[in-house]
């Protein structure tokens, strides 16, 4: 695994996150959306692996930026380089879902190999978790609408 420079933490500070969706999945999750009990959104971005761990970068994302990403207007690279909190977490997760080697990182300290391409725009259909049945299924993601729009504008756009 790549060496990382950050502040070593004894425990992962984000407790009780619930998985909402797998945003990118190829032979396993690569980008997952989680939600905190107070409805903050967090992205888990897979970036490295060795014989014992999968390394994930975890960072908070606001609803506006999430929607900009999901609609292909902002690349994932920009979200990683400019997280809303100014930092992100690197965490190694083993096969038993135990969190180890937890670091608080600043984006400028990320290894080059961990950054997605500049054109890392979202081009997939997310798989959302059906919380009642515990299965993943596709469903639509709500998209924010500029508050200057009125209902008639939206209806006209939808039916034209």
Domain positions in the chain are 7-159
pLDDT at 40 > cutoff 90: yes
Q: What are phi and psi of 137, to 5 degrees?
A: -150, 160
Q: Are 129 and 138 in contact (CB under 8 A)?
A: no
Q: For 66-86, how does the pLDDT look when each residue is reduced to its tens digit (9 = 90+)?
A: 999 999 999 999 999 999 999
pTM score, whole prediction: 0.80
Q: For 91-141, how does the pLDDT look when each residue is reduced to its tens digit (9 = 90+)?
A: 999 999 999 999 999 999 999 999 999 999 998 877 766 555 554 554 444
Which residues contact residue 110 at a Cβ distance below 8 angstroms, ignoring those fewer than 6 apart? 4, 57, 80, 81
> Tokens standing for 98?
């135990």
Distance CA 75, CA 25 (A): 17
Q: What are phi and psi of 27, to 5 degrees?
A: 55, 25
């Amino acid at each position: 695994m790549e060496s990382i420079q950050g502040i070593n933490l004894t425990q992962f500070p984000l407790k009780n996150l619930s998985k909402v969706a797998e945003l990118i999945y190829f032979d396993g999750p690569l980008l997952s959306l989680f939600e905190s009990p107070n409805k903050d959104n967090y992205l888990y971005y897979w970036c490295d692996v060795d014989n014992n761990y999968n390394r994930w970068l975890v960072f908070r994302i606001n609803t506006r930026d999430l929607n900009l990403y999901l609609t292909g207007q902002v690349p994932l690279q920009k979200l990683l380089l400019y997280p809303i909190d100014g930092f992100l977490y690197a965490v190694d997760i083993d096969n038993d879902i135990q969190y180890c080697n937890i670091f608080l990182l600043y984006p400028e300290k990320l290894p080059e190999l961990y950054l997605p391409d500049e054109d890392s725009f979202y081009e997939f259909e997310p798989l959302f978790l059906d919380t009642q049945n515990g299965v993943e299924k596709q469903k639509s993601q709500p998209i924010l609408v500029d508050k200057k729009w009125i209902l008639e504008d939206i209806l006209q756009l939808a039916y034209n």
